[in-house]
Amino acid sequence: MESGYCSDNLQSAVPVFAALGDPVRLSIVARLSENGPLPTVQLTDGTGGITRQGINRHLRVLEDAGLVESARVGRVRQWQLRAQQIAIIREHLDRLSAVWDARIEGLRAFVEDGDER
């Protein structure tokens, strides 16, 4: 990985990965990913006793990280994932994966070449 990528682009991903580091927030993202836009009250259901105010705090962290956005639909606030931000996360993970794939391939080649000697 080139150093410019690490310092500049990866720095912008820090708040996103920090937000996803909490199991409740990761669960919210997973639910929104599976079920599409959901109102706050539905996101509160099945959270193991977390209050609506607690869910709202988690949603604000996700919103500040750019992972979700909301809109008022009547008296209800609907939350949905921001596809663009999810794509950015995927790009970071794909780059990391490519680096590790190359390292594993290099190790495999080294081990196999060593067996031939």
Residues 78-99, mean pLDDT to the nearest whole number: 86
Mean pLDDT in the chain? 85
- The answer to whether position 25 is within a domain reads yes
Domain enclosing residue 34, as ranges: 7-82
How many domains does the chain fold into? Answer: 1
**Amino acid at site 79:** W
- The answer to whether position 16 is within a domain reads yes
- Residue 65's domain is classified under what CATH number? 1.10.10.10
Residue with more model confidence, 50 or 6: 50
- The answer to whether position 108 is within a domain reads no
- The answer to whether position 1 is within a domain reads no
Tens digit of pLDDT for each residue in 12-49?
778 888 898 999 999 999 999 998 899 998 988 877 78
**Count of CB atoms situated within 10 Å of the CB of 5:** 11
- The answer to whether position 76 is within a domain reads yes
Task: Report the 3 state secondary structure along 82-104.
Answer: CHHHHHHHHHHHHHHHHHHHHHH
Q: What is the pTM of this model?
A: 0.72
